[in-house]
Amino acid sequence: MKTLFAALALILLTSCSRTDGGSQKAAVVAPDAPIPVPVARAARIDLANDLVLTAEFEPFQQVDLMAKVSGYVRSISVDIGDRVHTGQVLATLEIPEMEDDLTRAAASIDQAQAEIVTAADELHRAEAAHEMAHLSYSRIADVLKREPGLVPQQEVDEAHSRDLVAEAQVSSAKSNLKTAEQHARVSRADQGRVETLHKYLTITAPFEGVVTKRYANVGAMIQAGTSSQAMPVVQLSQNNLLRLILPVPESSVGRVRVGETVDVRVPSLGRTFPGHVARLAEKVQPSTRTMDTEVDVQNPTLTLIPGMYSEVNLHIAESRGALAIPLDAVDRSTSAARAYVVAGRAAPALQHAERCLDLCEQHELRDWDLAFAYEALARANLLAGEHDAVASYLKLARSVEIAEDEDREHLEADLATLMV
């Protein structure tokens, strides 16, 4: 690939001469007649490479609000175009049987609490009976130890048996109390479930936005959102922040960065709005060879409306203070693009030519680029009157291996115009 050193004067065309004893010898082969050539000054300007892509505005968020439970629409307080805030009530449903469920759940809790009280009383009675039976058995056992044979063994066994039965009744009473407590927890959980479902009768806005569709009216039967016949109540869009999804070509993917500012032009409004690159898909679509890139645009006054057509200028590359020349000054008659510079002074000509050679060495450029640099040095030294250096650089230019024959022929034709 040929490299263009446009601002570094790769080929120096000069109209210079040297005087020796009053005689003048032409340094460049002059044509039979002068040819007027327009010139332009190189200037430092800010250059930018923009990629213009088109897209439609989309809401930052959009959702169809469904009902969690089936019921009739009791009221709906919004319509298309209404602006709502987060948490605002949009509609309420009515489910008559749910009130009965709440009453049943409350009664179940009362019943469970009563069972807990009963079980606790039974536990106290069982513990008292066990304490009496255990005390009686302990006394009989003490007498039997002090005076063996005084108490019949049958009576001792019966006292021991009553103690064990009373102990078992205590364990049973404790289990009944735990069962009653578990029943109370289940009742409270059922009540909480019914109360949660009751809250679903009120449909609120999950975010600030605009109602863009209304699907239901008062009295309509709404199926639960989990049903196959479910129907939304309203559609809500967040329009104070819009997004654009741009198909960035594969050739420009690597130069797009998150956070970069962009200009968003809206032809229908005749205005341009600021935006910024917010998200990258980080994947090129095989079918289109493009990557989805999202741009966020603030819209606090809701001037922009989703669906509007826009043109986005992505700043792919930017160079500040670049040394630039008109495109007409670039010679593209051959496979290598180059610019001609009028250099009437040796010092700047040598400076530019040496810079050209430095770039070749820094970037390990060979072939046509290196030969081009040697030619520029030869022309600059010719302007300075250093004929030995001219011969040396001409030799170096001819020694460079050039892959394409056309390039070699073009180089030899250029070198032939030099006279030492």
Each residue's pLDDT tens digit, 122-138? 889 888 888 888 888 78
Give 375's pLDDT tier (boundaries 50, 70, 90).
confident
pLDDT in the model for residue 34: 62
The secondary structure of 44-104 as a DSSP string is EEEEEEEEEEEEE-EEEEEEEE--SS-EEEEEE---TT-EE-TT-EEEEEE-HHHHHHHHH
Integer Cα distance of 309 and 55 in angstroms? 6
Tokens of 290: 């493009």
Give 328's pLDDT tier (boundaries 50, 70, 90).
confident
Does residue 278 register a pLDDT over 50? yes
| 57 or 20: which leads in pLDDT | 57
| 343 or 46: which leads in pLDDT | 46
Q: How far from 320 is each of 4, 7, 136, 309, CA to CA, in Å? A: 19, 15, 106, 32
Q: What percent of the chain has pLDDT over 90?
A: 31
Integer Cα distance of 159 and 53 in angstroms? 99
pLDDT in the model for residue 195: 85
How many angstroms separate the first and last alpha carbons of the chain? 31
Integer Cα distance of 122 and 172 in angstroms? 9
Does residue 12 register a pLDDT over 50? no
Give 139's pLDDT tier (boundaries 50, 70, 90).
confident
Give 274's pLDDT tier (boundaries 50, 70, 90).
very high
pLDDT in the model for residue 1: 40
pLDDT in the model for residue 310: 96
| 8 or 308: which leads in pLDDT | 308
Region 343-367: what's the mean pLDDT? 79
Region 365-382: what's the mean pLDDT? 84
Give 302: exposed, middle or buried? Use CB within 10 Å, 0-12, 13-18, 19+: exposed
pLDDT in the model for residue 237: 96
User: Residue 229 CB: number of other CB atoms within 10 A?
Assistant: 9
Q: What is the mean pLDDT of the chain?
A: 82
Half-sphere exposure of 320 (CA within 13 A, CB side): 0
Q: What's the CA angle centered on 81, arms 79 and 84, to 5 degrees? A: 80
Give 31's pLDDT tier (boundaries 50, 70, 90).
very low
